Amino acid sequence: MEINLSTSLCGVRLRNPLVLASGIVDTTASALLFALKNGAGAVIIKSICPEPRTGHKEPILHAIKGDSMLNAVGLSNPGLKIAVEELKNAKSRTKEPIIANIFASSVEEFGYSAKEVSRANPDLIEVNISCPNVEDEFGKPFSCDPDLAAEVTRAVKENTNIPIIIKLSPNVANITVIAKAVEQAGADAITCINTVGGMVIDTKTAQPIISNKVGGLSGQAIKPVAVKAIYECYKAVNIPILGTGGVMTGNDAIEQLMAGAVAVGIGTAIYTRGIDCFDKINQEIEEFMQENNYNSIKEIIGLAHKENKK
């Protein structure tokens, strides 16, 4: 039986449903291309803003038992000028989808960033309105307020013709309210989800372990949160969903696809399984499909919502 792993996100074809999530590798073209070489169906650049940013001081990462981690990197990046050149470089060296990712401290700055990053002609632009560990500097994340989230969406749409994906936060009372707001404001897709806010304390020193005190929890621990968010948003909106959060295995990816995602982000798994996790997870997806008589990824997307399941 021939298995078709390809899928589509905002009309952009992916050879398989696995996407390098933003924030895992640096902004260089070589890092993005390396992930594609190792089996990613598409790659998302680390979040970038207009000016270079150093991020938080060490320690910024803490591994948690069970293939999870807490991080507060602080959105370090070289700024738009350098990142745009790296995106152009990457685009010139591959036909696979390259996705930009932007963040900003104001609605107007989001619009400016969208306009500037569009000069690199990425296939898609992911808009990070939901980083959980920079609240002290930027105030409440835009993802917590449907009106603010919609304002950002409109500002970005006004400054680019490239399809945009709004990255949503799980740290809200009702994620579907935000999803509906950005859909109505013109979002072409949403990402469910960014990391979950968390903290770890060293009981010997009685102090938080990471320097920023709070950070974003990622990895296996948040997979059920991501699956729930995808499932609920699939029912609430009519735009595609990029599922992200806790995918370590092919079965994890299948769960998110069945919940309604059209593609799945891979992040922490790169640390725990290695960069070849893309090939491994794709192989596990293919084996699952063969064993359960699925020919195409399209047969799996949203299957958990159907009354007469296969």
- pLDDT digits (tens), the chain, 310 positions: 789 999 999 999 999 999 999 988 878 999 999 999 999 999 999 999 998 888 888 898 999 988 999 998 888 888 899 999 999 999 999 999 999 999 998 899 999 999 999 999 999 999 999 875 444 344 567 899 999 999 999 999 999 999 999 999 999 999 999 999 999 999 999 999 999 999 999 999 999 999 999 999 999 999 999 999 999 999 999 999 999 999 999 999 999 999 999 999 999 999 889 999 999 999 999 999 999 999 999 999 999 998 754 4
> pTM score, two decimals?
0.95
DSSP assignment letter at 173: S
Phi-psi bin for 189: left (phi > 0), alpha (psi -120 to 50), beta?
Answer: beta
β-bridge partners, 18: 264
pLDDT of residue 73: 87
Q: Using DSSP, state whether 124 is helix, strand or coil.
A: strand
Q: What are the chain's domains? A: 7-305 (3.20.20.70)
Active site residue 277: no
pLDDT digits 0-9 by tens, 104-162: 988 999 999 999 999 999 999 999 998 754 443 445 678 999 999 999 999 999 999 99
The per-residue pLDDT for 135 is 46
Q: Return the pLDDT at 267.
A: 94
CB atoms within 10 A of CB 51: 11
Helix (H) / strand (E) element for 117: namely helix 107-117
Q: Which of 131, 192, 233, 277 is catalytic?
A: 131
Burial 10-30 (b: 16+ CB within 10 A, else e): bebebbbbbbbbbbbbebbbe
